[in-house]
Amino acid sequence: MAGRRIEIRGTVQGVGFRPWVYRIAQRMGVAGRVRNAPAGVTIEAFASGDALDLFIAQLQATTPSAARVLGLQTTSIPEEQVDGFAIEPSDSLGDKTLSIPPDLATCPDCEAEVLDPNNRRYGYAFTNCTTCGPRFTIATGIPYDRPATTMSRFQMCTQCQREYSDADDRRFHAQPNACPKCGPVLSISALGGTAVPGSDPLAGAVELLKRGAVVAVKGLGGFHLACDATNATAVRLLRERKRRDEKPFGVMVGDLDAALSVAEVTTEEAALLTSPERPIVLVHARQETSLAPEVRPETPLLGLFLPYTPLHHLLLAGVGRPLVMTSANIAEEPICRDNEEARRRLDGIADAILFHDRDIAMRCDDSVVRVIAGTPTLMRRSRGFVPRPFHLAKAVSRPVLACGAHLKNTFCIVFGDTAYFGPHIGDLETVAALDFFEEAIERMQTILAVRPEVIAHDLHPGYWSTQYASAREGAVKVGVQHHHAHVASLMAEHGVEGPVLGVAYDGTGFGEDGTSWGGEFLLCFSDRFERLATFRPVRLAGGDVAMREVWRTAYALLHDAFDGRPPIDSLPLFDSVAPESIRIVSQMIEKELNSPRARGVGRYFDGFGALALNRPESRYEGQVAIAWDHIANDAVLDAYPFALDRGTAPMEVDLRPTVRAAFEDVASGVPPGDVSARFHNTLTDLTAEVVRGLLVELGDLPVALTGGVFQNARLAAGVSNKLSSKIRVLRHGQVPPGDGGIALGQALIAGAILGDNG
Ligand code: ZN
Ligand code: ZN
Ligand code: FE
């Protein structure tokens, strides 16, 4: 006889890990116990030495589908006389903070039950088991047990209770376990005089969707608005009502085959589509498909996802066609959560609402992922991922709350050596969003059982997140520069301590001098940075207005490149702009009235894109930049000239020669795809050249590519390829490259500035 302690680290709680260990131990005649531990699961096992080796090998060979094992460590312990193998209750204190896992998509076993007419859960929309189902979105407190979830008011029936208590059952300790006899039920409400056909809520919703109606559906983390994605009239109707002119809609398809019929899906993308996190995956749409073109006006990218709750499986199976599934909100407000709220806010938008009576404790939007230059990169990290923690290289001694940025806000809480992102909040521009931000922070503090003593925030005094930070009492406040935070978030993701050479390209971020930065080459440490190079600024006539009316940026670039005499007469772009508007903008720039200087590389994308595509306006954030990327002609390999001004500190990348060369091309009728390719090649070349130049002095530091602009696959891949293989290039994967990832960097920096890091 021998004894071993086996410590397993990773996401192994709330995913059926302990019952799985139990079953293996039973089968192999190993005695002992398993329990949740602070960083995972601890097993104490007793058997012959050989049997223990086999047992450990078995544990390493496979894992339950939703588990993520990060490490397994064994130590010998004195043997004990124990009878059988036991699952011990969690320690009450030590491990409670880690006990809530993210929501998990319906597993194949549950899906099969729901679609099997002979199963007692046939057609039941709330079926789940130990390896699948709602988790984070139903948690109201800790530890993660049924009483601390929104399932607490449903009393399990005898059969469900038996499943729940039987260690050999798939539903052993499945906290949301339910069946049609005892669990939540669906209901449907018609709005605005719609008649719901039949008496069954699900069948009624399916019928309405087939007829082209817009149906709001209560899901896991909030309400969606659904309609038949193959019905152009229905999609147009939804666009009108949602006041969403051109932004692409997410589309849910029944299974992988259906996905392959509407898009080109790589093996890697297929794995993401079918993962337990079930994010929206941005894939290339096929040209000829059943989808209405209104789903994705003018972009080749399609946001595709597969059903992740039994309700979705049933809807998709019922309708038999792809469905638009978009967050139920207006413009950029937070996703709807409560039944009453949905009734109020969705009147006039949806024709009917498919409700259920299980409350959503935490709003959680769908996550969005895209494979960028071979790396799956989260663009929005929310449902399915939150609250899965990140482990940091160094611990902080005081808990930190980082408030994030302004657009695509997420916040982050760090204590010890673990970091927890909150769910995607959205743009902090409405009262509803600010309420959600505050409420989500409160709730995360509750379920993590932590009270932050340090608050990190952006330097921008006008951001609501900054104002929230200043208003919070009883904590040390630390302002963190936006692009330093971008780089630090990437350092944290890779466990790199610095120094690194950060290349942070985005639309805008508050600089230490009070101006807008966004084309930054920064030598970064965790507690400080040095700004080594930036871009020559461009004037934004009217400030934020220029982000929408991108022709203004094009005008400003030409004005600068042609010494105050922009040759607009030979450019079709300006034919569609009122001469009076041009005159005003021209004066604003000349007299420097309400025309702040901005160095964001995103602004150059706007300006060049507007110029070559004849696009005076960007209807949603990044629209012109995205179109500009996709049109690029891969066969064009040459680039435009650019200049580097080494006389300034920091030195400046000067794109005036680039503007002049692009102007020549556009004015002489060169196709926009060629202009786009040359523009991208120029940015790639200059980025690599500046980096190489800086590394000559700095030595071979890791290079961190971050900021929203690096969502551009052409640029991200191009720069990585241009740098020598000796240089370690850090790119985003699990932490979003855009402002949704910034909070982690803020927290890391605040901890380091206060000298708290372990
Ligand atoms: Zn299941
Ligand atoms: Zn039941
Ligand atoms: Fe940014």
Return the axis-axis angle of helices 601-613 and 551-561, rounded to nearest 10°. 100
Q: Tell me the pLDDT tens digit for each residue of 362-410.
A: 999 999 999 998 899 999 999 999 998 888 888 898 999 999 999 999 9
Mean predicted confidence (pLDDT) in 129-151: 89
Q: Tell me the pLDDT tens digit for each residue of 516-527.
A: 999 999 999 999
Looking at the CA of 159, which ligand is closest?
A: 2
Token representation of residue 539: 């004037």
How far away, in angstroms, is 709 Cα from ligand 3 center? 9
Rounded to an integer, what distance in angstroms lies between the CA atom of residue 370 and that of residue 248?
15
How far away, in angstroms, is 153 Cα from ligand 2 center? 13
Q: Tell me the pLDDT tens digit for each residue of 637-686.
A: 999 999 999 999 999 999 999 999 999 999 999 999 999 999 999 999 99
**Cα first-last separation, the chain:** 41
Looking at the CA of 105, which ligand is closest?
A: 1
**What residues pack around ion ligand 3 (CB closer than 5 A)?**
506, 509, 739
Looking at the CA of 169, which ligand is closest?
A: 1
How far away, in angstroms, is 480 Cα from ligand 3 center? 12
Q: Which helix (H) or strand (E) holds 206?
A: helix 201-210
Does the pLDDT of residue 612 top 70, yes or no? Answer: yes
How far away, in angstroms, is 705 Cα from ligand 3 center? 12
For residue 547, give the nearest of 691, 430, 407 by alpha carbon. 407
Looking at the CA of 130, which ligand is closest?
A: 1
Looking at the CA of 112, which ligand is closest?
A: 1
424 or 342, higher pLDDT: 424
Looking at the CA of 742, which ligand is closest?
A: 3
Residues shown for the chain: 758
How far away, in angstroms, is 165 Cα from ligand 2 center? 13
Mean predicted confidence (pLDDT) in 186-214: 93
Q: CA-based angle 363:400:277, to the nearest 5?
A: 35
How far away, in angstroms, is 365 Cα from ligand 1 center? 21
Contact call for residues 175 and 144 (beta carbons, < 8 A): yes
Quick check: pTM over 0.85?
yes
Count of Cβ atoms closer than 10 Å to residue 122 Cβ = 13
Looking at the CA of 181, which ligand is closest?
A: 2
Q: Tell me the pLDDT tens digit for each residue of 312-339.
A: 999 999 999 999 999 987 767 788 888 8
- C-alpha distance from residue 567 to each of 55, 152, 559, 600, 659 (Å): 76, 69, 8, 24, 11
* pLDDT at residue 99, rounded to an integer: 62
Looking at the CA of 66, which ligand is closest?
A: 1
How far away, in angstroms, is 279 Cα from ligand 1 center? 18
Looking at the CA of 516, which ligand is closest?
A: 3
**What residues pack around ion ligand 1 (CB closer than 5 A)?**
107, 110, 129, 132
Query: Binning pLDDT at 50, 70 and 90, where does residue 95 land?
Result: very low
Sign, CA torsion 731/733/738/740: negative
Q: Tell me the pLDDT tens digit for each residue of 549-578.
A: 999 999 999 999 999 999 999 899 999 999
How far away, in angstroms, is 146 Cα from ligand 2 center? 14
In 459-497, which ranges are E strands?
476-480
Count of Cβ atoms closer than 10 Å to residue 192 Cβ = 10
How far away, in angstroms, is 337 Cα from ligand 1 center? 24
For residue 48, give the nearest of 79, 19, 73 by alpha carbon. 79
Contact call for residues 367 and 381 (beta carbons, < 8 A): yes
How far away, in angstroms, is 98 Cα from ligand 1 center? 21
Does the pLDDT of residue 197 top 90, yes or no? Answer: no
Does the pLDDT of residue 93 top 50, yes or no? Answer: no
Q: Tell me the pLDDT tens digit for each residue of 211-267.
A: 999 999 999 999 999 999 999 999 999 999 987 778 899 999 999 999 999 999 999
Looking at the CA of 745, which ligand is closest?
A: 3
Does the pLDDT of residue 15 top 90, yes or no? Answer: no
* pLDDT at residue 651, rounded to an integer: 96
* pLDDT at residue 90, rounded to an integer: 64
Q: Tell me the pLDDT tens digit for each residue of 680-734.
A: 999 999 999 999 999 999 999 999 999 999 999 999 999 999 998 889 999 999 9
How far away, in angstroms, is 117 Cα from ligand 2 center? 17
How far away, in angstroms, is 490 Cα from ligand 3 center? 13
Looking at the CA of 409, which ligand is closest?
A: 3
Looking at the CA of 508, which ligand is closest?
A: 3
Looking at the CA of 601, which ligand is closest?
A: 3
Rounded to an integer, what distance in angstroms lies between the CA atom of residue 266 and that of residue 194?
41
Dihedral angle at the C-alpha atoms of 232, 234, 235, 239, nearest 10 degrees?
Answer: 130
Give DSSP secondary structure letters for 154-174.
SPPPHHHHHHHH-TTSTTTT-
Sign, CA torsion 289/295/297/299: negative
* pLDDT at residue 91, rounded to an integer: 54
* pLDDT at residue 13, rounded to an integer: 74
How far away, in angstroms, is 630 Cα from ligand 3 center? 22
Q: Tell me the pLDDT tens digit for each residue of 30-86.
A: 999 998 776 678 999 999 999 999 999 999 988 887 787 888 999 999 999 898 999
* pLDDT at residue 338, rounded to an integer: 85
* pLDDT at residue 98, rounded to an integer: 54
Looking at the CA of 151, which ligand is closest?
A: 2
Burial 338-350 (b: 16+ CB within 10 A, else e): ebeebbebbeebb
* pLDDT at residue 194, rounded to an integer: 79
The number of helix segments (H) and strand segments (E) in the chain equals: 22, 29
Looking at the CA of 738, which ligand is closest?
A: 3
* pLDDT at residue 342, rounded to an integer: 87
For residue 752, give the nearest of 467, 701, 744 by alpha carbon. 744
How far away, in angstroms, is 527 Cα from ligand 2 center? 54
- Percent of the chain past pLDDT 70, that is, above it, reads 98
* pLDDT at residue 680, rounded to an integer: 97
* pLDDT at residue 340, rounded to an integer: 87
Looking at the CA of 127, which ligand is closest?
A: 1
* pLDDT at residue 153, rounded to an integer: 95
Looking at the CA of 458, which ligand is closest?
A: 3
Looking at the CA of 160, which ligand is closest?
A: 2
Dihedral angle at the C-alpha atoms of 525, 527, 530, 534, nearest 10 degrees?
Answer: 90
How far away, in angstroms, is 13 Cα from ligand 3 center? 34
How far away, in angstroms, is 257 Cα from ligand 1 center? 21
Looking at the CA of 179, which ligand is closest?
A: 2
Looking at the CA of 183, which ligand is closest?
A: 2
How far away, in angstroms, is 104 Cα from ligand 1 center? 9
Mean per-residue pLDDT of the chain? 93
How far away, in angstroms, is 4 Cα from ligand 3 center? 49
Mean predicted confidence (pLDDT) in 443-464: 93
How far away, in angstroms, is 707 Cα from ligand 3 center? 5
How far away, in angstroms, is 202 Cα from ligand 1 center? 21
